[in-house]
Amino acid sequence: MFSTVRHFVASIFFFGVLSAGCQTFNLQPTAEMAFKTSVDQFLTDYWKVHPEKAAAFGLQAFEGQLVIFDTEQKKRNLAFIRKYRSVFGGYKDGKLTPSQRIDRDLILNDLSREEWLLNVFQPWAWQPAYYNIGRNIGSLLQSDRSSFEEKMAKVAMILDQAPAYYAQAKKNITGATKAHLEFGIQQNRGVLAFLKKTVVPQVRSSRLSNKPQLFKKIAAASDGIKGYISFLEKTGATLADGSSFRDFRIGPKLYEEKFEYEVQSRFSAKEIYKRALSDRKKTHKKMSLLANQLWPKYFPNTPKKVFGLKDIQKLIGEISKKHSKPAEFIQDIRQQIPDLARFVREKNLLYLDPSKPLKVRETPEYLRGFAGASVDAPGPFDPDRETFYNVSPLDGMTKSQQQSWLREYNHYTLQILNIHEAIPGHYTQLVYDNKNPSLIKTVFHNGALVEGWAVYAERLMIEAGYGRNTPELEFMYWKWFLRVVTNTILDYEIHNMNLSKAKGLSYMVDQAFQEQEEAEKKWKRAMLSQVQLTYYYTGFTEIYSFRESLKSEQKESFSLKRFNEKLLNFGSAPVKTIQALWNEPRDPSQKR
Ligand code: ZN
């Protein structure tokens, strides 16, 4: 059990030796080495405070641990923050390599973010879905580095802690919002279903000798979850009587703070919001030009010269009729993945590692209810685990919901979804990320870089002529891009400007041409999250404008492939820090 930790420390040390060996900087090597030692110590302690994160990153020694979030735990977290703020605050720029400066800044930013979460934002007190053992058990069971017997031993540890974990959850939840409460109930019902439909049958058909004990543990954990669900239901009923739910809008002060800690952009939230407003206008113009080209093909009997939003909507409705059948949705996605890889190679856009296949599967039940599709990739310590492309199946939907969903993810937009989620989007970025020797940049990855890259990947493919430049695909691409732009506008206006649901839905349906079903889902997600919906557009804007400025500087010598690979090789650091490091050719973090 201990060997993983040792292996991990050894690998950090190995990187340390590597970079110390190339004495390319005229820096005090002692300060450089001291910094490495501090990072090792920091991570060792960090995993102890955040064992669930450690397990999510593939550190097996931490699997099976649940954090019971009581006052003692909070004290431990705060002490950890104080200790390492003073350690890393003591490293001044002149003593560190550029890459180490970034690592130091990422660590300090995360410590401040953690402290802000603990003292100010306190999601554990008003977001009931914070408590969910399905995530831990699910990721454990899908790892293929240990035998089923070993995995079940750790699952048993989680099950043992579950009653205390959920008892503490009841104490911690003091003022949920209505949306978060319902989400917490939904997810934990998913956990119950997962235990019953997935874990129990696996145990039953196994050769484990302790089956009766395991069934007992599953029953006890399920009772704990049921108790939590009924507590949430009672809380909901009480709050509904007094209509005293917490407001899901976090307000300008918390919003600006959250944006700063999470996005770490060179733009402020307000600047990004203003850019999004202007991009919405520009995109409408582009779409009306393409509509002019497409209209005669779809409406030959009603000629038109001027195209407003209603006409664009009508055209989208017609083009969206080309879509998968409900039962073939996942199969269609599965078939598209190799085409995307072939195109990326043909056009020389970037290197794809053929040894890391992507597996398309139905989203496990305990993860459903948030996004329609997502990539679930292994962490840096478990690089051999499979990467899954989770797609929520349509069988839980009514006929009309299915039709609405399939029109939204039609023949054209489904391809853009796959570019975003898989190749060369999230999946490709994560494969590069896992090879990056800077663990700090991987562990404290920047969400805006991750989402921004996936949005940039869509533009990259369209610009390279993916889909043989069919105007339909380009037209639908702009519709898709409008969604990213609209996400930013929605998120900003919801939390800062009291945007109403009616107006929010109208932004999505009338101005971004989304289906009602998709818009309702997005509204739900927008109520549950804050700032996260701006990652996409912010990261994209930063990457794209950076690329364009390099292009105009370097003219003919600019290489798109080199740019893409170099950007990904930095790992998931904030774009502004990547820019700051771009011209440091001998930065040790760039050695592969
Ligand atoms: Zn994404």
- pLDDT tens digits, one per residue of 548-587: 999 999 999 999 999 999 999 888 889 998 998 898 755 4
The per-residue pLDDT for 381 is 73
Query: How far apart are alpha carbons 411 and 416 in whole angstroms?
Result: 9
Whole-angstrom CA distances from 392 to 259, 360, 361, 483, 513 are 29, 11, 9, 20, 22
**500 Cα to the center of ligand 1, angstroms:** 26
Query: How far apart are alpha carbons 27 and 429 in whole angstroms?
Result: 32
Which has more confidence, 228 or 379?
228
The mean pLDDT of 410-437, rounded to a whole number, is 90
Task: Identify the residue whose tokens are 């991009």.
Answer: 279
**425 Cα to the center of ligand 1, angstroms:** 8
The per-residue pLDDT for 274 is 97
Which has more confidence, 538 or 1?
538
**458 Cα to the center of ligand 1, angstroms:** 11
Measured on CA atoms in the order 522, 527, 531, 532, is the torsion positive or negative?
negative
The per-residue pLDDT for 143 is 73
User: What is the residue type of 532?
Assistant: Q
Residue 246 in contact with residue 177, Cβ under 8 Å?
yes
The per-residue pLDDT for 132 is 95
The per-residue pLDDT for 28 is 58
The band of 366, judged by pLDDT with boundaries at 50, 70 and 90, is low
- pLDDT tens digits, one per residue of 56-98: 887 889 999 999 999 999 999 999 999 999 999 999 888 888 7
The per-residue pLDDT for 99 is 80
Which has more confidence, 516 or 160?
160
Quote the DSSP letter at residue 376.
E
pTM of the shown model: 0.83
Residue 351 has pLDDT above 60, yes or no: yes
**582 Cα to the center of ligand 1, angstroms:** 25
**303 Cα to the center of ligand 1, angstroms:** 38
**454 Cα to the center of ligand 1, angstroms:** 6
Residue 420 in contact with residue 342, Cβ under 8 Å?
no
**Count of all residues that appear for the chain in the document:** 592
The band of 23, judged by pLDDT with boundaries at 50, 70 and 90, is very low
**42 Cα to the center of ligand 1, angstroms:** 30
The per-residue pLDDT for 264 is 94
- Give me the residues near ligand 1 (ion), CB cutoff below 5 Å: 451, 454
The mean pLDDT of 171-196, rounded to a whole number, is 93
- pLDDT tens digits, one per residue of 498-519: 999 999 999 999 999 987 878 9
Residue 21 has pLDDT above 50, yes or no: no
Averaged pLDDT of the chain: 88
The per-residue pLDDT for 369 is 56
The per-residue pLDDT for 451 is 94
With pLDDT > 70 as the criterion, what percentage of the chain qualifies?
91
The per-residue pLDDT for 14 is 27
**421 Cα to the center of ligand 1, angstroms:** 6
Residue 384 has pLDDT above 80, yes or no: no
Rg value, the chain, Cα = 25
**453 Cα to the center of ligand 1, angstroms:** 9
Residue 227 has pLDDT above 90, yes or no: yes
